[in-house]
Chains A and B, each alone.
Chain A
């Protein structure tokens, strides 16, 4: 009898590797996941609406990304650039901002940097372009002359410089005249945006 118990225990302790345990569990869950299709009619109206809104947000972001690919870089503030894309793509911005938790697109703060970085990434902006758009926005809040004009003025007729580099030169000149507090806030925001980009890059 005790030998039989022993054998039973051996069977129970049969070594199933972790990866197989996980895959078996996933397999069983996947089977159930597909089977839930039969209950679609049970979805509450509120949850249904929420899901539709969530899908609509994704579609809006994808359309913005597509427009952004067509348009490329334009020396505008982050808010003007995104709002411009929104008009061209004919999508609703409010749901996107709500999803990201952005209250004011015109005022990127260090606290909101993560959300701004996420929006920038989702519409296909790189970190360098994003920072330029943010810095242009800051310049407009500092009451400086419009950056696109300054960039055009800076460009000599012979120069065929890179537009991003030209913007960075002009912004550097403007920022050297900012009050220390403003400059500090801008640099903190830039730092947070860079960090958020790196964080999501590591995850993707």
Chain B
């Protein structure tokens, strides 16, 4: 089966789904079934829970496809990802009431603001792209809190832990400066403030 991969391929897939093309739905299941399952496993779900949730996401997200609008830089993949994140949050809320929830669990209200969430992530992605590769990697690896990957990255690039801290600090500062003047972020923060 041909598998669409690029942003424009995936946008084309969304358009074909909106036109109710059966083959497009098969492709959607084929491409995103695996991405969803892998994402849920990475977020701590068992293989079987991840498959259950991935299956239910395939139906739920395909049902919402008529609401999809292309966002520059993000595309259909980013839109599906945002909905999957929300589905995971809902799943954690309903299935694991006594377990500790992740730190980055959005509030219920934020859960409904798919487009807004997406525009923030895309703004951050664009800002990250403006940083040197090393700074970008340092920020992402430290933020993912995967100590092993972070340390092996430092070893590979011959950077000491101390030097990496300083560089990470400066890179983060630079990132914040870029984001502070991004209208998507200023609007998001204004809306967030008015909600609180």
Q: Does A180 contact B (CB under 8 A)?
A: no
Bound Cα distance A58, B140 (Å): 35
Considering residues B5, B58, B66, which has the most beta carbons from chain A within 10 angstroms of its beta carbon?
Answer: B58
Are B29's CB and A52's CB within 8 A?
yes
Q: Does B100 contact A (CB under 8 A)?
A: no
Are B85's CB and A26's CB within 8 A?
yes
Q: Does B128 contact A (CB under 8 A)?
A: yes
Neighbouring B residues of A36 by C-beta, 8 Å: 34-35, 38-39
Interface residue stretch chosen among A40-48, A138-146, A147-155, A188-196: A40-48
Are B51's CB and A21's CB within 8 A?
no
Q: Which residue of B lies closest to A61 (CB)?
A: B63
Instruction: Scan B30-45; emit 1 where CB is below 8 A from any A CB, else 0.
Output: 1111110111001000
User: A11-B165, A22-B106, A27-B124 given as contacts; is B38 within 8 A of A39 (CB)?
Assistant: yes
Are B51's CB and A47's CB within 8 A?
yes
Instruction: Scan A1-26; emit 1 where CB is below 8 A from any B CB, else 0.
Output: 00000001001101010111111111
User: In chain B between 1 and 56, which residues have their CB closer than 8 angstroms to a CB of chain A?
Assistant: 3, 5, 20, 22, 25-26, 28-35, 37-39, 42, 51, 54-56
Are A21's CB and B35's CB within 8 A?
no
How many residues from A make CB contacts under 8 Å with B? 47
Q: Does A37 contact B (CB under 8 A)?
A: yes
The 8 Å CB contact of A14, one of B125, B162, B169, B188, is B169
Q: Does B69 contact A (CB under 8 A)?
A: no
Q: Does A112 contact B (CB under 8 A)?
A: no
Q: Which residue of A lies closest to B22 (CB)?
A: A59
What distance in Å separates the Cβ of A203 from its nearest Cβ neighbour in chain B?
7
Are A27's CB and B189's CB within 8 A?
no
Instruction: Scan B133-149; emit 1 where CB is below 8 A from any A CB, else 0.
Output: 00000011001100000
Neighbouring A residues of B123 by C-beta, 8 Å: 23
Q: Does B59 contact A (CB under 8 A)?
A: yes
User: A25-B144, A27-B125, A30-B81 given as contacts; is B162 within 8 A of A99 (CB)?
Assistant: no
Bound Cα distance A20, B171 (Å): 13
Neighbouring A residues of B151 by C-beta, 8 Å: none
Q: Which residue of A lies closest to B166 (CB)?
A: A11
User: In chain A between 48 and 82, which residues have their CB closer than 8 angstroms to a CB of chain B?
Assistant: 48, 50-59, 61-63, 66
Q: Does B179 contact A (CB under 8 A)?
A: yes
What distance in Å separates the Cβ of A19 from its nearest Cβ neighbour in chain B?
7
Q: Does A29 contact B (CB under 8 A)?
A: yes
Are B58's CB and A51's CB within 8 A?
yes
Are A58's CB and B58's CB within 8 A?
yes
What distance in Å separates the Cβ of B168 from its nearest Cβ neighbour in chain A?
8
The 8 Å CB contact of A43, one of B26, B33, B84, B169, is B33
Considering residues B56, B123, B140, B188, which has the most beta carbons from chain A within 10 angstroms of its beta carbon?
Answer: B140
The 8 Å CB contact of B55, one of A23, A54, A62, is A54
Chain B interface (Cβ < 8 Å from any Cβ of A): 3, 5, 20, 22, 25-26, 28-35, 37-39, 42, 51, 54-56, 58-60, 62-63, 66, 77-78, 81-82, 84-85, 103-104, 106, 112, 117, 120-121, 123-125, 128, 139-140, 143-144, 162, 165-166, 168-169, 172-173, 175-176, 179, 188-189, 192
